Amino acid sequence: MAADLEAEVQAIDKNLLECSAEEIAVKWLQANDLQKEVYQHLAYYVPKIYCRGPNPAPQREDMLAQHVLLGPMEWYLCGEDPAFGFPKLEQANKPSHLCGRVFKVGEPTYSCRDCAVDPTCVLCMECFLGSIHREHRYRMTTSGGGGFCDCGDTEAWKEGPYCQKHELNTSETAEEEDPLVHLPEDMVARAYNIFAITFKYAVDILTWEKENELPGLEMIEKSDTYYCMLFNDEVHTYEQVIYTLQKAVNCTQKEAIGFATTVDRDGRRSVRYGDFQYCDQAKSVIVRNTSRQTKPLKVQVMHSSIVAHQSFGLKLLTWLGSVIGYSDGLRRILCQVGLQEGPDGENSSLVDKLMLYDSKLWKGARNVYHQLFMSSLLMDLKYKKLFAIRFARNYERLQSDFMKDDHDREFSIADLSIQIFTVPSLARMLITEENLMTTIIKTFMDHLRHRDIQGRFQFERYTALQAFKFRRVQSLILDLKYVLISKPTEWSDDLRCKFLEGFDAFLELLKCMQGMDPITRQVGQHIEMEPEWEAAFTLQMKLTLVISMMQDWCALDEKVMIEAYKKCLTVLMQCHSGFTDGEQPIVLSMCGHSVETIRYCVSQEKVSIHLPVSRLLAGLHVLLSKTEVAYKFPELLPLSELSPPMLIEHPLRCLVLCAQVHAGMWRRNGFSLVNQIYYYHNVKCRREMFDKDIVMLQTGVSMMDPNHFLMIMLSRFELYQIFSTPDYGKRFSTENTNKDVVQQNNTLIEEMLYLIIMIVGERFSPGIGQVNATDEIKREIIHQLSIRPMAHSELVKALPEDENRETGMESVIEEVACFKKPGLTGRGLYELKPECAKNFNLYFYHFSRAEQSKAEEAQRKLKRQNREDTALPPPALPPFCPLFASLVNILQSDVMLCIMGTILQWAVEHNGYAWSESMLQRVLHLIGMALQEEKQHLENLSEENVVTFTFTQKISKPGEAPSNSPSILAMLETLQNAPHLEVHKDMIRWILKTFNTIKKLRESSSSSPVVETEGNIMEESSRDKDKAERKRKAEIARLRREKIMAQMSEMQRHFINENKELFQQTLEELDTSTSGVHENSPVISDAKLTALGPEQTRVAEPRQVVMCILCQEEQEVKVDSRAMVLAAFIQRSTVLSKNRNKITPDPDTEKYDPLFMHPDLSCGTHTGSCGHIMHAHCWQRYFDAVQAKEQRRQQRLRVHTSYDVENGEFLCPLCECLSNTVIPLLPPPRVLFNRLDFSSQPNLTQWIKTVSQQVKALHLLRNEDCASHSGHSEKMDQLQLPEGFRPDFKLKNPYSESIKEMLTTFGTATYKVGLKVHPNEEDPRVPIMCWGSCAYTIQTIERILADEDKPLFGHLPCRQDDCLTSLTRFAAAHWTVSSLSAVQGHFCTLLASLVPNEKNGNLPCILDIDMFHLLVSLVLSFPAIHCQDFSGVSLGTGDLHLFHLVTMAHIIQILLTSSTEENGMDQENTNSEEEVAVLTLYKFLCQCTGSALKEISSGWHLWRNLKAGIMPFLRCSALFFHYLNGVPAPSEIQVNGANQFEHLCSYLSLPNNLTCLFQENSEILNPLIESWCNNNEVKRYLEGKRHAISYARESNKLIDLPDDYSCLINQASNFSCPKSGGDKSRAPTLCLVCGTMLCSQSYCCQTELEGEDVGACTAHTYTCGSGVGIFLRVRECQVLFLAGKTKGCFYPPPYLDDYGETDQGLRRGNPLHLCKERFKKIQKLWQQHSITEEIGHAQEANQTLVGIDWQHL
Ligand SMILES: [Zn+2]
Ligand SMILES: [Zn+2]
Ligand SMILES: [Zn+2]
Ligand SMILES: [Zn+2]
Ligand SMILES: [Zn+2]
Ligand SMILES: [Zn+2]
Ligand SMILES: [Zn+2]
């Protein structure tokens, strides 16, 4: 079947290819009815090209379509071969000065914060880099796709609208020129024709709804071929779709994933092809399977020819888009065609048709035509305007469609509003001509239908679906914001009129919000269900900016302003026309004043937090106060219509509500109220909520008698009784009052005083006080920084943003703060400048309670540090604007003085809990404010003004009869000495001082001297201060002690609970370090130190006593005692790898032999340790307990831990470092196997001969063993055993049982982890892995030291030093617990790689052996042979010869691979001994290789190369022998000095001239060298047929990162998923080790790993980092650490903004630059193999990290 189809397809293709585009075009040119001709052509050919089978074949389809369908159209259009026609057009075209680049998903975009008209104006990277804005303050974001570059749009930029590239195109453009004049007339006509036909065809077919016929096209052959088409929705998840498809169309999971991915991307995909019934069946299964969810997946069975025409329709739209790219003229023609009204009148143009059908189209189709709109209509200024009008007229319809549409807004045509409404001229035009503001607001109101009986919005319970719908509705607010974002510079009458019309609509909207969600205090029972509140607040939050912008617009024109003010007032009166209804009027009177008001209790009646109309009016009032009229002719303003008591009523109720909530009176109303109060004050809302309520009260007070205001206020606070009744306060002294009520009243009094402080003190908004906008911001910043120094982003968060997302902070921050740069961690901080501290106001109205007390503490501390008194008096304030000027009188009003007096009286009487210190503190603050006010008045006294503010006089007067209370001043003087008011003394003293100053000021005007009293006060005060200070210190110390005690007991409890089984005895002093052990190592100063060989310096190993961290017992490390162990972590590592693509054979299935390490070091085994010591048995018990606990935990609930117990992982009980095994501590092992060296020691030649004989003997014996068990073979007799060699000798293992057990444990663990196999202690590869791990770990440490330019010895951290000692000693002792013959076998094979024998063929050539690994394995396996050698040769001799042999092999290796460029460097003219010798050796090598080796004549270069190449090996060897034999390092290599090479050679018992080794042993070496060079692989290398590693190997580093982060974003945006054909990756992730970009966290790139589906990152770690990976998630700007499949954590990225902060998630968009130090830190973590450990610590600290499915990333 498939083959048939294939053949058929090919036959058709052939036919089709014979069509001639030119001929068809000629036919069309002559046609009378062109549309008919073209339609016939399409009807015939389209179904032959598209949709020929179950799967789309895009390449074939495109090719054929171009040839048969588009080709003729292009010929027709050009009237000639398009290959000539189009370039001609392009040449004649004047390039556009608009960039218009449409953004891809994830592409970086830039907006200039200084010049962009609004934040939606963006540039593409290319334009940005060529613009002036790169020197400005800019913001960078990644595009969500869609939208285009605004370069060249003069309306988008205040300055620099063109980049360099697009500036060129502006020079001679006559703006209004008609682009059609550049086109020949006949072409214009043809373009009209063909565009009209093709555009109409595409629109018709895309909007076609019938299933079995075509628009205007005949169905040529109606076959029974259908598609079952699955459509995308945003309701069903990937998993649901995949699962359903597998069931419905019987496909594999892979196919299903493919379908789902395409459906998600394109919006639809056929999932089955065949006859109708076959497809219909699949459809019903899909529908049935998904109908249980909210709604079934959309599936449609479609005839193949319809699908074919639709595919071509889309192709045509894309084609149109590319054709108009050749010429502005063609673009204009297409625009004309698109907007031409059709026969059906309104809305019948093609563009209208598409727009109105938008919500019914699938995603892919939408994208295509949106793109076409953007490149045509939006790029042509004339048609952009016409299109904008069409868009505005259809606005309501489009929005309604969008509400029902289940696609995200970015896929909806409604989203184009951002492109249209943000163009200021268009927005203005649409407002005046299309009444757009009103349209948007009305549309919005239409979608919020639910109202209560008063006509206010009422929201249902806020379900997910509700939230979804509601979010859509909110996008309308966004549109309103776009329309308002650029403010008019001049007003026409039309604009005024239409704006005010819009304002009316807006007021209607606010009216529906005024008083919504009213609440009533719950008494008795707690509320049963939390009432809905979120929706209302969301609405308020979204509208906040719009409300502010409305006010900004009004402020621009006085006429509009006054009109708007009147309208707002009218609406407010409508809202509260009946605010007194039902309420009885009452009369309040105090201190000889009386006022009429209503009886209303917040605590008993309904109250609402939502008062947007009142608040808008308050805002307008402030703006009005700024106008010139307000200064000069306030009588012209509509102020007389205001009724102050009506204005203040509702805001006051709202503030009283807050006070009562704070006093705990609304506890039973639940969290919803608490949340509402929170948001009411929150920075996101407060500007149009809380702040405006304060303004409204200020407005009210300034227009009424302050005594009246205060009485009403007392009454609303339900405190009137207390203050109006003399001696009412005394009721508290009687015992039968309810304590709670008293407490409540106290809080209410405090809150009320606070409110008065705010009303008088908050005058930093322009219009209220005489300040400008920057003063306001400065004050906000000062108060934030008074709490503590803050990072830039913290400050930004604390300040309100305007519609351009600006806080205005940058312009003023320098004046009030200093910036402190960050270190390696943390972030940069702003600190308050000391001179700004005087502006601190303790009762700043934007402080939360917590902030207030922190700020108070911080400021007092500061004052103490500066040795000042700790009073925090109110700061001097700017004067009020005239409209608010009378407000200050509230401070000296009779009622106020009465309140102050009453409270001071309570304080003097000091009776129990009837008053509070905060109450007093606030009264003192108010008195302070009044004094400041009076002082300022006096200082600014001008001739004609009389000071009417006489607070000082009033407080000096005693109360009148009958109460006869003392004056306020007198009471203050009394309180000054009250012992219970220690804390307030400084403040009272400040008040009295200021009082005196004012008195002096007053008297100075009447020129009488003042008696100086300050001296006394000062003296007394310093004594008091001392005392107070001491008391405070004692108190602080006590508190700290208590806190520490509490912490400690908490920790202990926790610890004991966690480890109950283990710690029943003691728990003291857990921390002991092992470092003490090494302190008393012997110092051998003068003698020459030698690390190995017969000459080795003998050192007496000190007694080593260590303490177990678990049982605290001390023990000596001895061969025969109980084992002590170090917690250790073994991991596979590719950190040193020079070949990351190498695939190592699976050690389980193939018999993988790790005996030789390849010099590419592609995968090694690293061992690390935290250095903490335990008894082996203590550790065993601990580990068992951990295991048992884990099992219990897993049974209870499936919790993950940061460690994998099943894999032997645990956390070090002391430092919680991740570990997976333990290393035993051992005494130096070599001493145990050393025998007397009685005979003279052989030289290298002799020694090799002897050992070779021994090896041969062993081989024979081995063969003997296998060959026959029965009978003696004659070979045995032939065998001449070398002298003193006793192969039958069995060494007695010197170690205690417990140590032996630990040797096996660690060995097996190394084997298991290193080879990723199941543990098997018998496997002969176990010892190999142990030696390998020892060698590899030493190599990594040598590299780290070299990279950091640290000396080899003396600079390792203790834990690494301990680890290397134990690891080396362990590796040297491990052979004692493995099979002797296996180890002997390993030795033989290893030796054979250098000293060939006939038994071991097929070994790697010397180019393919890492010599240090070879050295370690040889030296550590040698004792297995040596122990049977009784000839008197010492072990040291063997070590030395082995070392020399390997060194020589390494020299040959280096010389063979050396790539010396002779002329690369200046040669020094020396002819040293070394140079001559190495040249000789090199010549000998040339001989051996048959002159295949490149000729080098410079001994100087060779010697330099050799020295550099061998250095790492020598350094590693020095470390190795140092740890093996315990010989201290000479002091010269403990520092970075000269002659390191010579000192190393001496320590290693090597001649300084290394080539001497060859000369001394030439007898045996020459044949060896020849044999090495004769190897086939070496020959192939020399012939250039293969590669080899050359020396010295360079250290691996993480990849280089660009300085500018946007380069990475750009790189990532160009990256497409490697598996789903050109699709943009959603989470592009960069491997920092090898630089590969990956498509992470996505189905498309999941692969199977060990039977589990894993994401691209996890899969990559297995090839690139043997399980460990370091990535940069580019879109998130986040570093990701991964280890294994289950472990991972995020790490701060090494990119910082100018404020020293990272931006994880790229939320702030500040430009980011690479911080090299932080990147180095990450690199170091990697080089030190600490990534896994880092993850462990991160997961322990943050449990949520444990639950993440890291393997899916
Ligand atoms: Zn651009
Ligand atoms: Zn540009
Ligand atoms: Zn700029
Ligand atoms: Zn112990
Ligand atoms: Zn530890
Ligand atoms: Zn990689
Ligand atoms: Zn992918």
Give pLDDT tens digits for 1739-1750: 888 878 877 888
1240 Cα–ligand 4 center, Å = 47
Does position 1051 have pLDDT exceeding 90, yes or no? no
Does position 1637 have pLDDT exceeding 90, yes or no? yes
100 Cα–ligand 3 center, Å = 19
388-407 per-position pLDDT tens digit = 999 999 999 999 999 888 78
User: Burial, 1752: exposed, middle or buried (Cβ in 10 Å; 0-12, 13-18, 19+)?
Assistant: middle
- Among the ranges 253-262, 322-331, 1275-1284, which has the highest mean pLDDT value? 322-331
Q: Which of 1257, 1228, 1247, 1701 is nearest to 1432 (CA)?
A: 1247
Average pLDDT over residues 1546-1571: 89
Q: Which ligand is nearest to the CA of 1137?
A: 6
Q: Dihedral of CA 1251/1252/1255/1260: which sign?
A: negative
- pLDDT value, residue 616: 96
Does position 1493 have pLDDT exceeding 60, yes or no? yes
- pLDDT value, residue 430: 95
- pLDDT value, residue 1017: 44
**pLDDT tier, 1020 (very low <50, low <70, confident <90, very high otherwise):** very low
1123 Cα–ligand 4 center, Å = 10
- Helix (H) or strand (E) run with residue 795 in it: helix 792-798
Q: Which ligand is nearest to the CA of 1073?
A: 5
130 Cα–ligand 1 center, Å = 9
Average pLDDT over residues 1037-1058: 54
- pLDDT value, residue 1009: 40
812 Cα–ligand 3 center, Å = 19
User: What's the rounded Cα separation, in Å, for the pair 678 and 671?
Assistant: 10
User: What's the rounded Cα separation, in Å, for the pair 1638 and 1663?
Assistant: 13
1319 to each of 203, 593, 1177, 1312, how far by Cα in Å?
68, 95, 21, 5
1211 Cα–ligand 5 center, Å = 8
- pLDDT value, residue 1016: 44
| β-bridge pairing 817-820 and 829-832 | antiparallel
1072 Cα–ligand 5 center, Å = 10
1670 Cα–ligand 6 center, Å = 8
- pLDDT value, residue 806: 86
Q: At what angle do helices 739-761 and 644-662 cross, to 10 degrees?
A: 130
Do residues 214 and 43 make contact, with C-beta atoms less than 8 angstroms apart?
Answer: yes
Q: Could you count the other beta carbons within 10 Å of the beta carbon of residue 457?
A: 20
Does position 999 have pLDDT exceeding 60, yes or no? yes
1067 Cα–ligand 1 center, Å = 68
**pLDDT tier, 76 (very low <50, low <70, confident <90, very high otherwise):** very high
1630 Cα–ligand 6 center, Å = 8
Which residues sit with Cβ closer than 5 angstroms to ligand 5, an ion? 1170, 1172, 1212, 1214-1215, 1217
- pLDDT value, residue 879: 92
Q: Which ligand is nearest to the CA of 1174?
A: 4
Average pLDDT over residues 1418-1431: 89
User: What's the rounded Cα separation, in Å, for the pair 1222 and 1226?
Assistant: 13
Does position 1152 have pLDDT exceeding 50, yes or no? yes
- pLDDT value, residue 1098: 81
SS3 of 745-773:
HHHHHHHHHHHHHHHHHCCCCECCECCCH
810 Cα–ligand 2 center, Å = 28
Could you tell me which residue, 1651 or 1630, shows the higher pLDDT? 1630
User: Which residues lie across from 241 on neighbouring strands?
Assistant: none
Tokens standing for residue 135: 């020197």
**pLDDT tier, 292 (very low <50, low <70, confident <90, very high otherwise):** confident
Does position 1082 have pLDDT exceeding 90, yes or no? no
Q: Which ligand is nearest to the CA of 165?
A: 2
584-634 per-position pLDDT tens digit = 788 999 888 999 888 888 998 889 999 999 999 999 999 988 887 777 777
415 Cα–ligand 2 center, Å = 24
Average pLDDT over residues 214-235: 80
- In single-letter form, the type of residue at position 488 comes to P
165 Cα–ligand 2 center, Å = 6
Do residues 399 and 443 make contact, with C-beta atoms less than 8 angstroms apart?
Answer: yes
Q: Which ligand is nearest to the CA of 1140?
A: 6
Average pLDDT over residues 1436-1444: 92
1750 Cα–ligand 1 center, Å = 38
Q: Which of 1404, 1015, 1367 is nearest to 1167 (CA)?
A: 1367
- Helix (H) or strand (E) run with residue 1133 in it: strand 1124-1133
Residue 1227: asked if its preceding bond is cis (omega within 30°), the reply is no
**pLDDT tier, 912 (very low <50, low <70, confident <90, very high otherwise):** low
User: What's the rounded Cα separation, in Å, for the pair 815 and 785?
Assistant: 13
1207 Cα–ligand 6 center, Å = 25
411 Cα–ligand 3 center, Å = 31
**pLDDT tier, 235 (very low <50, low <70, confident <90, very high otherwise):** confident
Q: Which ligand is nearest to the CA of 1179?
A: 4
Distance of CA 132 to the CA centre of its chain: 29
- pLDDT value, residue 1055: 47
- Among the ranges 131-145, 632-646, 1222-1236, which has the highest mean pLDDT value? 131-145
H-type alpha helices, 799-892 = 813-816, 849-865
- pLDDT value, residue 820: 92
**pLDDT tier, 470 (very low <50, low <70, confident <90, very high otherwise):** confident
1213 Cα–ligand 5 center, Å = 7
User: What's the rounded Cα separation, in Å, for the pair 457 and 514?
Assistant: 9
Does position 136 have pLDDT exceeding 60, yes or no? yes
Q: Which ligand is nearest to the CA of 115?
A: 3
488 Cα–ligand 1 center, Å = 27
Average pLDDT over residues 1353-1370: 90
Q: What is the mean pLDDT of the chain?
A: 85
Average pLDDT over residues 1027-1047: 60
- pLDDT value, residue 661: 95
Tokens standing for residue 1296: 């205690």
- pLDDT value, residue 636: 72
DSSP 370-414: HHHHHHTGGGSHHHHHHHHHHHHHTHHHHHHHHHH--S-GGGSGG
Q: Tokens 């595009």 correspond to what residue?
A: 143
- Among the ranges 87-91, 1132-1136, 1538-1542, 1685-1689, which has the highest mean pLDDT value? 1132-1136
Which residues sit with Cβ closer than 5 angstroms to ligand 3, an ion? 112, 114-115, 133, 136
Could you tell me which residue, 524 or 1371, shows the higher pLDDT? 1371
Average pLDDT over residues 1363-1388: 92
Q: Which ligand is nearest to the CA of 1359?
A: 5
Q: Dihedral of CA 1040/1041/1044/1047: which sign?
A: negative
Q: Which ligand is nearest to the CA of 1598?
A: 6
- Residues of the chain with pLDDT > 70, as a percent, come to 89
- pLDDT value, residue 1282: 76
Do residues 988 and 928 make contact, with C-beta atoms less than 8 angstroms apart?
Answer: no
- pLDDT value, residue 1195: 62
The CA dihedral of 1150, 1151, 1157, 1158, to the nearest 10 degrees, is -40
1158-1195 per-position pLDDT tens digit = 999 988 999 999 999 999 999 999 999 988 887 777 66
- pLDDT value, residue 460: 72
Q: Which of 1652, 1606, 1657 is nearest to 1628 (CA)?
A: 1657
- Among the ranges 283-292, 1091-1100, 1724-1733, which has the highest mean pLDDT value? 1724-1733
Q: Which ligand is nearest to the CA of 1660?
A: 6
User: Burial, 635: exposed, middle or buried (Cβ in 10 Å; 0-12, 13-18, 19+)?
Assistant: exposed
- pLDDT value, residue 1540: 87
1713 Cα–ligand 6 center, Å = 23
User: Which residues lie across from 102 on neighbouring strands?
Assistant: 148
Does position 322 have pLDDT exceeding 70, yes or no? yes
115 Cα–ligand 3 center, Å = 4
User: Burial, 804: exposed, middle or buried (Cβ in 10 Å; 0-12, 13-18, 19+)?
Assistant: middle
- Among the ranges 432-441, 530-539, 1449-1458, 1610-1619, which has the highest mean pLDDT value? 432-441
1497-1528 per-position pLDDT tens digit = 788 888 888 999 999 999 999 999 999 988 88
- pLDDT value, residue 1753: 84
Q: Which ligand is nearest to the CA of 1664?
A: 6
**pLDDT tier, 1062 (very low <50, low <70, confident <90, very high otherwise):** very low
- In single-letter form, the type of residue at position 703 comes to M
Q: Which ligand is nearest to the CA of 122?
A: 1
